[in-house]
């Protein structure tokens, strides 16, 4: 194999792994959009919020310590204990469910029946709000998140490929774990929506609100459920990205990475989110590898969007989206 081809293969592999992470974020969007028609811009900030809460609980930080200190002149920072990772994850999940309930109770319930753009704006407002609350609660400095996931170069792959090709592939252990977890998560979500009572109810609501209401499904409950599931997906994405690059503001920008994935895959399709994520992940890494150096690099910022844009011109509903039927 020529060197170029080997490099390209490595780039593709890494692209696939990055794509899985994009897909993970995109999943959260798709879930909420399918069930309630809300395009949840706050998904990225929810991932940030989840990751920050997880770190805060693990380190035993006092919530709102900054604010309390500023108002009362105290000097508290930590409770002085450390919570094991698994327990902290469960506690964080509880916080995310609480958040889902609050969002439904105080925001979305009052906006039922509004135009989609208004709902979308409300989630942008929510994103600002959550970001501010997360910073006030846990402080805005960059934190490291370590829940015991393996990290760093996978030596086995490096050795094996070196033995076969004479060049060791650099593949991060974390990416492999993320891929496995994402696959499990998708399988679990599919099983949940196909085989459980709540999952079926969720799909019914996604299909037709009024019909679902008329057969006795509680919309309120389903929407809290959907936001909780989206919160769970956000937590998983937050753990992955937080372990990879630290828990900081830029974590919330992964939402922007997920948008072209959604466009490509279609807003309403779970398999679409996965396939779209993989295409975008591979596409942008390959483009950066092949064309990037010619035009000054950092093409990852826009390549996904332009790809999705060109794609949409030919297929406006995305790869797997429901066919758009327009009537007067």
Partner 1 sequence: MFYREAGDFKTSYQSDSQTFPIKFDRYRYYVVLVVAFGIIPFIINDYWANSLLLPFLIYAIAAIGLNILVGYCGQVSLGTGGFMAVGAYSCYKLMTAFPETSMFIHVILSGGITAIVGVLFGLPSLRIKGFYLAVATLAAQFFLVWLFNRVPWFYNYSASGQINAPERDVFGIIITGPNAPAWATYLFCLIFLTLCALIARNLTRGTMGRTWMAIRDMDIAAEIIGVNPLKAKMTAFAVSSFFVGISGALFFALYLGAVEVGEAFGIQKSFLVLFMVIIGGLGSIFGSFAGAAFLVLLPVVLKVVGADMLGWPTDIVAHLQLVIVGGLIIVFLIMEPHGLAQLWRVAKEKLRLWPFPH
Residue 70 binds to partner 1 (criterion: CB under 8 A): yes
Please name the residue that has the structure tokens 């066919």. Answer: 323
Residue 53 binds to partner 1 (criterion: CB under 8 A): no
Task: Give least dist CB 162 to partner 1, A.
Answer: 35
Stretch that binds partner 1, among 9-17, 174-182, 184-192, 258-266 (CB under 8 A): 258-266
φ, ψ for residue 178, nearest 5 deg: -60, -40
φ, ψ for residue 308, nearest 5 deg: -65, -40
List the one residue from 53, 279, 318, 320 that touches partner 1 (CB under 8 A).
318
Residue 163 binds to partner 1 (criterion: CB under 8 A): no
Q: Footprint of partner 1 on residues 140-159 (CB under 8 A)? A: 140
In whole angstroms, what is the distance from residue 25 CA to residue 131 CA? 17
Token representation of residue 326: 């327009």
Phi-psi region of 297 (alpha: psi -120 to 50; beta: other; left: phi over 0): left
Cβ pair 104, 224 in contact under 8 A: yes
Cβ pair 247, 51 in contact under 8 A: yes
Task: Give least dist CB 302 to partner 1, A.
Answer: 4
Token representation of residue 58: 């693990």
**Among 308, 281, 302, CA closest to 15:** 281
Residue 130 binds to partner 1 (criterion: CB under 8 A): yes
List the one residue from 131, 175, 284, 288 that touches partner 1 (CB under 8 A).
131
Residue 323 binds to partner 1 (criterion: CB under 8 A): no
Stretch that binds partner 1, among 54-62, 154-162, 190-198, 301-309 (CB under 8 A): 301-309
Residue 298 binds to partner 1 (criterion: CB under 8 A): yes
Token representation of residue 136: 């006030």
C-alpha torsion sign, points 198, 202, 207, 209:
positive
Residue 302 binds to partner 1 (criterion: CB under 8 A): yes
Binding site for partner 1 (CB under 8 A): 39, 66-67, 70, 107, 110-111, 114-118, 120-122, 124-133, 135-136, 140, 256, 259-260, 262-263, 267, 295-299, 301-302, 305-306, 308-309, 312-313, 316, 318, 324, 326-328
């Amino acid at each position: 194999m020529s060197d170029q081809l080997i490099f390209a293969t490595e780039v593709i592999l890494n692209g696939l792994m990055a794509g899985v992470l994009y897909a993970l974020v995109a999943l959260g969007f798709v879930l909420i959009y399918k069930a309630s028609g809300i395009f949840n811009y706050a998904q990225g900030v929810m991932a940030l919020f989840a990751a920050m809460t997880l770190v805060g609980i693990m380190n035993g930080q006092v919530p709102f310590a900054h604010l309390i200190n500023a108002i009362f002149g105290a000097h508290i920072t930590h409770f002085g204990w450390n919570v094991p990772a698994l327990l902290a994850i469960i506690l964080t999940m509880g916080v995310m469910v609480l958040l889902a309930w609050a969002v439904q109770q105080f925001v979305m319930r009052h906006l039922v029946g509004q135009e989609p753009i208004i709902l979308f704006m409300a989630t942008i407002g929510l994103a600002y709000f959550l970001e501010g609350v997360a910073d006030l609660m846990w402080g805005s400095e960059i934190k490291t998140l370590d829940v015991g996931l393996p990290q760093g170069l996978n030596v086995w792959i490096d050795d094996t490929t070196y033995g076969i090709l004479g060049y060791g592939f650099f593949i991060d252990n974390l990416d492999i774990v993320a891929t496995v977890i994402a696959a499990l998560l998708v399988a679990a979500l599919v099983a949940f929506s196909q085989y459980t009572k709540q999952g079926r109810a969720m799909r019914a609501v996604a299909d037709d609100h009024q019909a679902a209401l008329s057969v006795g499904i509680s919309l309120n409950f389903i929407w809290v459920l959907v936001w909780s599931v989206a919160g769970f997906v956000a937590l998983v994405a937050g753990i992955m990205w937080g372990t990879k690059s630290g828990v900081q503001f830029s974590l919330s920008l992964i939402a922007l990475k997920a948008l072209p994935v959604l466009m490509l895959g279609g807003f309403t399709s779970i398999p679409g989110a996965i396939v779209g994520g993989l295409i975008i992940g591979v596409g942008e890494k390959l483009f950066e590898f092949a064309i990037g150096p010619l035009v000054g690099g950092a093409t990852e910022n826009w390549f996904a969007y332009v790809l999705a844009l060109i794609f949409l011109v030919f297929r406006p509903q995305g790869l797997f989206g429901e066919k758009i039927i327009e009537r007067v």
